[in-house]
Amino acid sequence: MMCRVERQATMKALFVMLCLFATIALSQQSGEFTPLFDGKSLQGWTPVNTTPSTFTVKDGAIHVEGNSGWLRYDKQYTNFDMRVEFRFLTDNADSGVFVRAVGDAIFLRGWPGSSYQVQARDMTRNQTTNPIFIGNVYRHGQRGATDTSFDSAAALQAAKKTGDWQVLEIEVRGDRLTARLNGAPVLSAGNLANPSGFVGLQGEAGIVQYRSIQVREIR
């Protein structure tokens, strides 16, 4: 009788341990998103190759008004999910979200030379491919991202007009990068060369605001 009770207790303990391990593994794989912007300051961020007026905080958002440099978050990431809320305050405004930016070289106007940028460009007035569409990937002096599929029709349909808040969701896994614009899948790119790097925001043209920037690391 005691042996059966002991076996039952052992099995129960083993079941609890398995559940605990599964919970830990799940939390490591799909943990909570961490906000990178506190809505009040640029704490945790470093302006690089730019002027003090390019990246400021206005009305609870990161206000981007300048044509050079980038705003780099101080932590590097490998595999992660990223959610960014942004809006354009001027027609044809142009910015972008850098991922896996090494930042050890300069590519044109103070932008990180070894990086990948997911484009954030207002499509209200200019709906041509020059410059590239919103949601597409731009290689800043970097190899890789050659196995790329971009749905320009979906991006154009999903893009909102000047002044409206939009959501860009970016996933980086191994050597692949995917992006969704306002819920619509628009980008899939492979063969990324950088295994890890910084995330950041680009200063290029017009006025752009970012009010929420969140990252969830994938281990």
Tell me, what's the pLDDT at 219? 84
For residue range 154-164, list pLDDT tens digits in order.
Answer: 999 999 999 99
Contact residues for 150 (Cβ-Cβ < 8 A; gap 6+): 133, 135, 136, 137, 186, 187, 188
The span from the CA of 146 to the CA of 208, in Å, is 28
Tell me, what's the pLDDT at 30? 56
CATH topology of domain 34-217: Jelly Rolls (2.60.120)
pLDDT digit of tens for each residue in the chain (219 aa)? Answer: 445 545 554 444 443 343 333 333 444 445 899 999 999 999 999 999 999 999 999 999 999 998 889 999 999 999 999 999 999 999 999 999 999 998 667 777 677 888 999 999 999 998 888 889 999 998 876 665 566 899 999 999 999 999 999 999 999 999 999 999 999 999 999 999 889 999 999 998 999 999 999 999 998
Tell me, what's the pLDDT at 181? 98
